Amino acid sequence: MDLDDFRWLLGADGQDLLFRSQAMVESGVPPLKAGERLRAAYDASRVAAALSQVDLRTRAVAKFGDLAALMYFTRDGLEQATRLPVADHRAGRMVAASPASLVDLGCGIGGDLIAFSRAGITVAGVDLDPMRVAIAQANLDALGLGGAVKEADATTLDTTAFAAVFVDPARRTGAGRTFDVDAWTPPWTFVEQVLRGDACVKVAPGIPHALVPPGVEAEWVSDHGEVKEAALWSGRLATTARRATVLGSGGLATLTDEDDPGAEVRRVGQYLYEPDGAVIRAGLVTALAAGVEGGLVDARIAYVTSDRSFHTPFGRGYEVVEELPFREKPLKAALRERGIGRLTIKKRGVDVVPDELRKRLAPQGANEGTVVLTRVQDKATALLVRPL
């Protein structure tokens, strides 16, 4: 899709083509057949653009829910866009700081702009790509949201007129995803400058703690158990040093370094807790241990144990049934004795490939079981557990 075709799609004739394309696909007409029919009345490139939007809107439901049906996308723009619940959480945090306005530097297709605008913040966005600029503005307009978007180089823009800055650096090059912060667009040197003011910068979850500048809060966010991103908060927007935020069906829960008194390694108790990925990334496993009145199974392993049962949003809990042999042959025999045919293998800190091991164990029986393979006080251990 080129820019002229996209702009045409926004007009009356383009909207009619989009409507007809959507209706055909929803009625079960294969896309190729739909394209043949539509090309009888419309230019081929515009038909391709319309059908592409129909496909992308369907894919976008996973990230944007009901809003996706009204929005516009590119394939890479959708892939890079923040999932709406995560963007809404970030917008909520931003609102709590009461900024009068915000500029999104490198706004892409406008996913974060939408969340900030829906939260009531006066927003503006810039991007180097004219197609993304057009799509971001179209998305704001389609959803009835305020905000202006223009084509500009974020690194040359004077942002002093805005109360807060948001940046989501592109972390892809022509060779694919990059973990080199100096290869980001804009690069890390620019990010460091932005973080001297009131700013939020979206970064990859794997960002090293040592890279976070002093006085900047690093927040790791997971959505329904999957770590989605990390964000750096600076200036008035920073409230702690490290934070793990967990989004789920029960709402939002957050854990910070201020909740972390530390924890000791102890024997395995009646219960085992597997920390959420955001908790692990934030280095707050010992904070989870304190919350369940427990300790660590090993100084270098992200499992927590306790003698008490807790339902915590920061980890999944298991009741420890018994310790099994760690070596493969006696473990196989122990599983057979217990009639475990449906086997879940979880591992941490040991050199095991669960799918390959499950094939070799060839579990048989009518029962279901979960085995945790890990290190307990530096000893390889197998634990039969039951999910809480």
pLDDT tens per residue across all 388 residues of the chain: 899 999 999 999 999 999 999 999 999 999 999 999 999 999 999 999 999 999 999 999 999 999 999 999 999 999 999 999 999 999 999 999 999 999 999 999 999 999 999 999 999 999 999 999 999 999 999 999 999 999 999 999 999 999 999 999 977 666 667 667 887 888 899 999 999 999 999 999 999 999 999 999 999 999 999 999 999 999 999 999 999 999 998 899 999 999 999 999 999 999 999 999 999 999 999 999 999 999 999 999 999 999 999 999 999 999 999 999 999 999 999 999 999 999 999 999 999 999 999 999 999 999 999 999 999 999 999 999 999 9
Give the CA count within 13 Å in the CB-facing half-sphere of 30.
3
Q: Return the ∠ at Cα 188 (arms to 156 and 245), rounded to 5°.
A: 115
Look at residue 183 in the predicted model and tell me its pLDDT. 78
pLDDT at 174: 63
What's the rounded Cα separation, in Å, for the pair 259 and 274? Answer: 18
CB 274 within 8 A of CB 310: no
- Per domain, the residue ranges of the chain are 3-70, 78-239, 271-387
CATH topology of domain 78-239: Rossmann fold (3.40.50)
Overall residue count recorded for the chain in this entry: 388
Residue 51 CA, distance from chain mean position: 28
